[in-house]
Amino acid sequence: MKPSAPNEHAPHGRRLNPAELEIDLFCKGIRIHESCDLEKDARVFARARAGLGSGLELVIPGKHPIWLNAPVKEKFAARSPYELRLEEGRYHVLHTVDQIRYDVVLPPAPAWYSRYTSSGVLMREIGVLQGTYLGIYLGKACAFWNSNPRENCKFCITGLNVGSPGGDKAEKTVEEVLEVAKAAKEESGITFVHFNTGYQQGRGLDICAPFVKAIKEEVGALVGVQAIPSRDLWKYDWIAELGCDHLSFCYELQNPEYFKQYLPGKFKHIGQETFFRAMEYSSQLLGKGRVSGEIIAGIEPIEDTLEAIEYITRIGAFPTVCIFRPVQGSAMEDWPSPSFEDMVVVFRRVYECCMKYSIPIGLAPNIEVSLVVQPTDAEFLVERTPAFYWYKTKLAVMKRLAGLVFGRQLQPRKIAADADHVPPPPAEIKPAG
Ligand code: SF4
């Protein structure tokens, strides 16, 4: 059910803390004042993946800098009370109702964005920075877009991007991806490469496998994979042996009715249970905090979102919560963006649940994600209780120990497992048909 639009122009009447500002910018978007020179100063507006990275990359500076991709092109952003301005060579965001200004930094487009691979492809059509990591879509355009009638997730625009002019190149080669990842590591200091595929008719992990191995052997970076889940759970052991450090599962909506209505392809061909089983299996396999459950807040009732956060953290996974963006061109482009107040409740719960289940957050070096409010950002939203300080102390100790492990992971290393041939399932397991 489409919710009613929040009052975008209600004043806050006070200065927001950095996490509140991040959330409000995600919810309301930003207008660009004529003083700005985005062509010179900003990263291009990337038409990539499901569309969450369609906006302007910004950093809210501070002891804990916060990265975000602020909506600009969507209809609701044109009504935003926030305006980006350039004055005396510095950018800031002005809340035009509260008349409060917030300093921001625009990360520049890296030089490699406008270079070409040896095969003649613009490098930013292979991968783009989403915060401080490299995001790459693999495989053909999601098959949910090619069915008749279409079965794509209603919020998504991947089918309009992949393979289209100015969008992602379809079916990248390992060589192209390696060239871009090496440039991104050398020039932009990335430590994490995240592969994502849409529905590849059961071959998502198989498609990602050679890329995972190549990054580990030739580049030396942490690698994450987000693919439609497989019922052949043994394939997760295989992808882990190839060096995959992180797996994410975009099941989006907890409420089964909303799952069915807004994710018709996932409902018909995969099923929510398959996401849950794969996520639980992988969380056991890789360990706490190395699997993400990805959900969208702002489509289903907030109680369902809070239940999802509780479930994800209870199984030891990391809650990656996207604030719903009614992206231009998607079937939901006329939906309202979620309310700030609801999203504050959601992200407060994210931090509280990470604390409750001791989920390790913020340990990996230099991974700032601009597409979502990270659990580490959400610490600005919770009360300073003894439990908060105890959790922060544990994280600080874990971060020190993790630094040694990550140092090794960032060096290229030989991988023994074979990526080109899907291994047969263990004898006692019969693959799902
Ligand atoms: S699975 Fe859904 S969100 Fe992912 S690419 Fe396909 S249609 Fe888009």
Residue 142 CA, closest ligand 1 atom number:
6
Using a 6 Å cutoff on CB, does residue 158 contact ligand 1? yes
| Residue to probe by mutation, ligand 1, list 158, 294, 322, 325, most atoms within 8 Å of CB | 158
Helix (H, G, I), strand (E, B) or coil at 84: strand
Residue 252 CA, closest ligand 1 atom number:
3
pLDDT, residue 45, reads 65
Instruction: Grade residue 50 by pLDDT with cuts at 50, 70 and 90.
Output: low
Contact 95, 81 (CB under 8 A): yes
Q: What is the mean pLDDT of residues 227-236?
A: 95
Q: Which residues, 6 or more positions from 131, have their beta carbon under 8 angstroms from its beta carbon?
A: 57, 67, 69, 367, 368, 369, 370, 371
pLDDT, residue 433, reads 44
pLDDT, residue 63, reads 87
Residue 49 CA, closest ligand 1 atom number:
5
Give domain limits for the chain: 18-103, 111-404
What's the pLDDT tens digit per position in 249-286?
A: 999 999 999 999 999 999 999 999 999 999 999 999 99
Residue 11 confidence (pLDDT) above 80: yes
Measured CA to CA, the distance from residue 323 to residue 52 in angstroms comes to 9
Q: Which amino acid is at 265?
A: G
| Residue to probe by mutation, ligand 1, list 136, 138, 140, 144, most atoms within 8 Å of CB | 144
Using a 6 Å cutoff on CB, does residue 117 contact ligand 1? no
pLDDT, residue 429, reads 57
- The pTM of the full predicted model, rounded to 2 decimals, is 0.92
Angle at 24 between CA 20 and CA 30, to 5 degrees: 135
Distance of CA 228 from the midpoint of ligand 1 (Å): 9
Select the CATH number that applies to the domain covering 111-404 from these four: 3.20.20.70, 2.40.110.10, 3.50.50.60, 3.40.50.300: 3.20.20.70
Residue 156 CA, closest ligand 1 atom number:
8
Q: What percent of the chain has pLDDT over 70?
A: 92
What's the pLDDT tens digit per position in 341-394?
A: 999 999 999 999 999 999 999 998 888 888 899 999 999 999 999 999 999 999
Q: What is the mean pLDDT of the chain?
A: 91
Instruction: Grade residue 167 by pLDDT with cuts at 50, 70 and 90.
Output: low
Using a 6 Å cutoff on CB, does residue 144 contact ligand 1? yes
Residue 189 confidence (pLDDT) above 80: yes
